[in-house]
Structure 1
Amino acid sequence: MSETTLNAHSGHAAAPTRVDPVTGAVIQGALENIAVEMGHKLMRMSYSSIIRESEDFGTALTDATGRQLCECKMSTPLQSGPIPGYVRGILKQMAARGETLQPGDVIMHNDPYGGASHGPDVGFAVPVFLDGTLIGFSVTTAHHLDIGALTPGSTGIVDAVDTYAEGLQFKAIKVVEAGRRNEAVWSILRDNIRASALVVGDMEAQVQTAQIGAERFLALVHQHSLKTVMDAFEDLLDYSERLMRNAISALPDGDYSAVTHIDGFLDDADPSRRDLPIAVTLKVRGDSITVDLTGTAPQLPDKPINMPLVGTVDISIWLTLRSILLDSVVYGSIPQNEGLSRPITIVAPRGTIANPIFPAPVIARFCPGNALADTVMKALAQAVPQQVSAGIGNLRVVAFSGMREGQQWVHMEILEGSYGGRYGSDGMDAVDTLFANTRNNPIEDIESHLPIRVDRYELRHNAMAAGRTRGGIGTIREFTFLDDGAFSVEGDGHRYRPWGYDGGDDGFQASLKLVHKAGGSEDLVSKVPYHKIRAGDHLISEGPSGGGYGNPFERDPESVLSDVLEDLISAEIAERDYGVVIVAGRLDGTATAARRAAA
């Protein structure tokens, strides 16, 4: 089995600064403000809740070769991070076809083997020209509700047999050429995508946002000159690279390995499709890291949980290393650009789920990618134990759909996970973890637009992993369908518990149940293809709880009392797991000391 090596190393030592620090800081702030403005514009112009509420989008500027100048920090890392790959994929595809770019073009791209994260994350790129010369790109990406696959929704397509079954593929297609809309392409979109008013409306919002970003970038260049802006950019790349190299240099040289497992397809009779390992070895040498994924499960040629190397695997790794080694609490705001990835080399054997071979399907790559990030963190815990969390509770994504007054409706709901306990801090409850960073969708938004009622949205009871700092708690979400419809689910974490650290307990698995109005219920696995339901049926999701950190008997008794009074755990569990005795809602300090001493 051959392997692919992905290395963003510049190959050169950092150059002396090209512009004065004040000018560089002004340009950095201006670039970041452009990306943030683009993000706000896209949210406000979008129709679907997955963009305007959950913020599952990305905005960024790149130079003419695809090197990222800046990204919208409030957006999803898995959307903004892959944008350089989108641009490089566009440039490669257009060069292969002998096409050129010109002012007024807008290019649509969603090729998962050409830089895109997966098919539903459609990118729109606007080339920026100065006096006839290409100087960069303004790009937006967003997750769309439907992309024309076999069944409704762009998640839960967990039975796709290849990339062609995952929906429409657009490889560097000009939707606007020299300022003129290509109406044929827009007609294809409207005629082949469900809920096209929402989806195409969101796409048009992306186009407008990218054009605004291009205008702002060009205005910045006119204000400071192209040379000054690009010199400042090169300085920012070098600065970010120095930060990362210094952080890596502080680590002890060595190899740090970890293995975790994902469910795969638990109801499949073929053992090669379930209980799949993700293996990571971090090789720290001086001021660089090689991330070796040898030992990761072979690709599934006809199941879509494979992860594109460029667009998912690389972002998962880069984000995790940057977040842990350059914690914003310590470092503050740092330039988000490709300099951060220069010291990192990724080795991924071809033909594995971390580097699949076309046309292996990849649309359900999200949960495995988040598990990969979790595995990187588990390996890094051996070098920086006070900078990581225990194992995370993975997310779940549900696509709801149906017909109403002769019109197809589609909705995508991201069901949050949880973080593990951290050194000195409890794990965060009910949040989207690691490379997701999307927001919880308000109940009011769901119920005001869809024939769905949310009956419960609460933290799980007695599902808190014990530790000196406890694991974050997953949620219970219960949906009632008010009309006949269907759902599909992309998830994980039904078999494997999030890992505890340094004596902390492992977390709690997820579960999914369908309760029928007509009577009876069925427990579902973590991946559910298109499943019809009747009005009055209930879907109950229990999200996973993250792992605990440290010896539970070292947890502050007052914190345990607070957990009991908040009804997160019972008094019986407080005594069993923490050695904390609580009687009639009060802490019994003497009995607690005796109970802990006897352990």
Structure 2
Amino acid sequence: MNVHQKPETGTRVDPVTSSVLQGALENIAIEMGYKLMRMSYSSIIRESEDFGAALIDEADQQLAEAKQSTPLQSGPIPGYVRGIRKWLAERGEEIRPGDVIMHNDPYAGASHGPDVAFAVPVFLDDALIGWSVTTAHHLDIGAHTPGSGGIVDAIDAYAEGLQLQAIKVYEEGRRNNQVWHMLRGNIRLPDLVLGDMEAQVAAARIGAQRFLELVQETGYETFLAAKEDMYDTAERQMRAAIAALPDGDYAATRYIDGYLDDPDPSRRDLPIAVTLKIRGDHMTVDLTGTADQVPDRPINMPLHGTVDCAIWLAIRSVLLDSAIHGEMPQNAGLIRPITIVAPEGCLANPTFPAPTIARFCPGTELANAVIQALGQVMPERVSGACGNGGGMVFTGQQGDGFWVQVELFSGSYGGRSGRDGMDSVDVLYANTRNNPIEDIESHVPLRIRRYELREGVAAPGKWRGGVGSIREVQFLAPGGASVESEGHKYAPNGLFGGAEGVPSQLVYHPADGGADVQLPSKLPWRGFKTGDRIEAVRACGGGYGDPLDRDPADVLDDVLDGYIDAAKARADYGVVIAGKAVDAAATEAARTAMRKNA
């Protein structure tokens, strides 16, 4: 059945019934998420919440997702299921009750290799009625360097780790021990990773049980009719939001660093181009003009699993902002009015075996570009560009085993109409958390020397940009690190007179007291000595609106809070601070002069 095709059913339901069913499905997905968090071994799931959970219908459409998880984990799950079914069909294998299927193929729906899904088919009698699926980022997946993030020098998909293409880890309820033996022998942290995988299986089974019980209680015909009403309701909301916009083409381009230290120009300064084509109640997102794929570096983005999720998240967040529209259903109806066009062989639609493991940061800039394009028709609903995220992977050996710690970088939001940008948070299609310092220092030989907000660099605007963080990590034993980041050259742009933000930095402080070293935004794995420190300085979001229109009282608060100093208040905002107060007369004179000279 086509993913957008509606099943035939003569049953009709009232809106209350479909709303109750939507809530019940969402509660099941949320329960799956919390169960997974509590059963997991690793901090990246337990603390950072880098996981997904969702329920999928018989036509591979999303019914509901765990809203506490990251959109980049839950959003791709329908694509995972389509990829699973594709691989099983090609091999002539059937889906049976009791199966649990593992999948991480980025060319068949997965977001990238470390995000492994475990899918449990749900049967009513002998009929497949849907799926319960969990995804999670795993700390090692058998790639050519330790850890499963920051592998920024992989030359192809094979260098990124195990490719798990619709593998049955349980067949009709029986555990396939040979698969688990294979995993254990090819992963550097077998106890931790396999423990997390078993937690995923358990959480997905809980979801499948709850799903089946709900359908049995509701009645299958009623369930089918209610879910179509759920989809139709979400679709109508999205179509109405698109139809309220003027027809036209609206374009924006963001650049990514790529590999700034690489002599090959095809690997650096790469455009991500977006044109939104609005026609009535339909929107086409055309990525023509985006840079060609980089065939031997992993910053390519899977079309299904990364690109589509970045686009859907950006459009839904702006057009159907929950602060205005209230609680919104997260189901397949929201994406029906949106078509994505991406030329084959570009960064946003690579061809196998181009590597994709470091797709996160380019995807963030894609979402940034979509939002900047929407700003041309909805200026009051968008923000200045966000400071990018990314992450750093620390690794080392303890005896004959490994330790791995993934540090997910926070970003920062740009200012928006009526609000300053948010400081040091994960942005756009990621809402993962950073790890508590106490958790890190109690499990691995690292010490967090500094963790604070940047000072004196908030981007000016009527509504200032959010500021990034500084996190400095010291090795307490020999180890290694790798880094996946963006925005070390290209600052987040401001909007409507707001200033651009400040780029990120990565600084190496040698233990021997040698000169500090500025590291690139992409750092392949390298060794570090005891006492070495790495300082991650994160980007600040762009400002929104003319800084001279900012309330002087807000500027004073920024000075008192350390976002800027008095000199910057005078230079950027024309606000004169005397002691701990605004000099109103001097401020009026300064702003008048600045407007005259603008």
- State the TM-score, normalizing by the size of structure 2: 0.97
Would you say the 8 A contact 2:79–2:110 is kept in 1?
yes
Q: Secondary structure at the match of 2:370?
A: helix
1:349-385: CA deviations, max 9, x gaps? 0010000010000000000001000000011100100
Amino acid across the alignment from 1:210: A
| CA–CA separation in structure 1 for the residues paired with 2:315 and 2:215 | 32
Would you say the 8 A contact 1:8–1:343 is kept in 2?
no
Q: Secondary structure at the match of 1:61?
A: strand
More deviation, 342-351/14-23 = 14-23
Report how far residue 344 of structure 1 moved. Answer: 0.3
Give 1:71's aligned residue: 65
| CA–CA separation in structure 1 for the residues paired with 2:3 and 2:533 | 48
Give 2:537's aligned residue: 542
Would you say the 8 A contact 1:8–1:341 is kept in 2?
no
More deviation, 106-115/438-447 = 438-447
**Percent sequence identity over matched residues?**
63
Would you say the 8 A contact 1:476–1:542 is kept in 2?
yes
Amino acid across the alignment from 2:147: G
Give structure 2 stretches of 5+ with no counterpart: none
Q: Among residues 408, 418, 427, which one is paired with 1:424 in the alignment? A: 418
Give 2:92's aligned residue: 98
| CA–CA separation in structure 2 for the residues paired with 1:251 and 1:449 | 52
Amino acid across the alignment from 2:534: L
Give 2:481's aligned residue: 487
Give 1:50's aligned residue: 44
| CA–CA separation in structure 1 for the residues paired with 2:5 and 2:285 | 17
1:183-239: CA deviations, max 9, x gaps? 111111111111121111100000000000000001101111111112110000000
1:330-353: CA deviations, max 9, x gaps? 111121111100000111000100
1:387-446: CA deviations, max 9, x gaps? 000011000211110012332001111010100000000000000000011112211111
Q: Among residues 559, 573, 577, which one is paired with 1:578 in the alignment? A: 573
| CA–CA separation in structure 2 for the residues paired with 1:507 and 1:429 | 12
| CA–CA separation in structure 1 for the residues paired with 2:366 and 2:266 | 19
Q: How does 1:105-144 map to 2 (within 5 A)?
A: 105-144=99-138
Q: Secondary structure at the match of 1:519?
A: coil
Q: Secondary structure at the match of 2:342?
A: strand
Q: How does 1:172-571 map to 2 (within 5 A)?
A: 172-520=166-514, 521-571=516-566
Rate the CA distance shift 1:59–1:11 in 2: closer, same or farther, 3 A: closer
Amino acid across the alignment from 1:384: M
Rate the CA distance shift 1:9–1:216 in 2: closer, same or farther, 3 A: closer
Amino acid across the alignment from 1:121: D
| CA–CA separation in structure 2 for the residues paired with 1:283 and 1:501 | 21
Q: Secondary structure at the match of 1:85?
A: helix
Report how far residue 462 of structure 1 moved. Answer: 1.3
Q: Secondary structure at the match of 1:598?
A: helix
- State the TM-score, normalizing by the size of structure 1: 0.97
Amino acid across the alignment from 1:598: A
Amino acid across the alignment from 2:355: P
| CA–CA separation in structure 2 for the residues paired with 1:208 and 1:107 | 13
Amino acid across the alignment from 1:204: E
More deviation, 565-574/79-88 = 565-574
Q: Secondary structure at the match of 1:349?
A: coil
| CA–CA separation in structure 2 for the residues paired with 1:134 and 1:8 | 15
Amino acid across the alignment from 1:559: D
Report how far residue 15 of structure 1 moved. Answer: 11
Give 2:593's aligned residue: 598
Q: Secondary structure at the match of 2:531?
A: coil
Rate the CA distance shift 1:548–1:560 in 2: closer, same or farther, 3 A: same
Rate the CA distance shift 1:193–1:436 in 2: closer, same or farther, 3 A: same
Amino acid across the alignment from 1:562: D
Would you say the 8 A contact 1:8–1:345 is kept in 2?
no
| CA–CA separation in structure 2 for the residues paired with 1:336 and 1:66 | 14
Would you say the 8 A contact 1:65–1:88 is kept in 2?
no
| CA–CA separation in structure 2 for the residues paired with 1:18 and 1:530 | 58
| CA–CA separation in structure 2 for the residues paired with 1:500 and 1:588 | 28
Over aligned residue pairs, what C-alpha RMSD do you find? Answer: 1.4
Would you say the 8 A contact 2:15–2:229 is kept in 1?
no
Give structure 1 stretches of 5+ with no counterpart: 1-6
Give 2:13's aligned residue: 19
| CA–CA separation in structure 2 for the residues paired with 1:86 and 1:370 | 21
Amino acid across the alignment from 1:557: P
Give 2:54's aligned residue: 60
1:443-485: CA deviations, max 9, x gaps? 1111111111111111101111000000000000100110100
Give 1:3's aligned residue: none
1:123-170: CA deviations, max 9, x gaps? 000000111111110000001111000001111110000000000000
Would you say the 8 A contact 1:9–1:343 is kept in 2?
no
1:85-124: CA deviations, max 9, x gaps? 0000000100000000111110000000000000000000
Report how far residue 11 of structure 1 moved. Answer: 9.3
Rate the CA distance shift 1:174–1:269 in 2: closer, same or farther, 3 A: same
1:494-535: CA deviations, max 9, x gaps? 000101000000000000011101122211000000010001
Would you say the 8 A contact 2:6–2:228 is kept in 1?
no
